[in-house]
Amino acid sequence: MQLKADLLGIPVEVPEHSEPGTLGAALLAGVGIQAYGSLAEAAELVSVAHRYQPSADRAAAFADRLEAHRAAVAAMPGSHPLGLSMAAEACDATRG
């Protein structure tokens, strides 16, 4: 998780729940049936066990490998040409 935080440049939170995917699906369903007023309201129910803070130094150490990975994914047959740029834009948007 630390590497994810470093490479994305955003904090990564790990929930206390033993099945976070199931919890997330249940919360999304609750938002869908309007049991919660918003996704933010549903998210308030999640307890965070650990929060990983990004490290610019670690990100810099992996920059070459990350770029090689992105190039390899972009070269794969059937890969969506906007997939990587859309993900990067989403990460940039969360940084403020």
Given a cut of 60, is residue 90 above it in pLDDT? no
Given a cut of 70, is residue 88 above it in pLDDT? no
Per-residue confidence (pLDDT) for residue 89, from 0 to 100: 59
Per-residue confidence (pLDDT) for residue 77, from 0 to 100: 83
Q: What is the pLDDT of residues 22-79, one digit of tens each?
A: 999 999 999 999 999 999 999 999 999 999 999 999 999 999 999 998 899 888 887 6
Look-up: residue for tokens 């729940």? Answer: 17
- 9-19: average pLDDT: 94
Select from 9, 23, 15, 12 the least CA-distant residue to 59. Answer: 9
Residue 87 CA: distances (Å) to CA of 30, 31, 40, 81 = 26, 24, 21, 11
- 85-96: average pLDDT: 57
pTM over 0.75: no
C-alpha 45/C-alpha 88 separation (Å) is 28
- Residue 16 structural domain: 2-95
Per-residue confidence (pLDDT) for residue 53, from 0 to 100: 97
How many domains, the chain? 1
Contact 90, 31 (CB under 8 A): no
Using CB atoms within 10 A of its CB, is residue 90 exposed (0-12), middle (13-18) or buried (19+)?
exposed
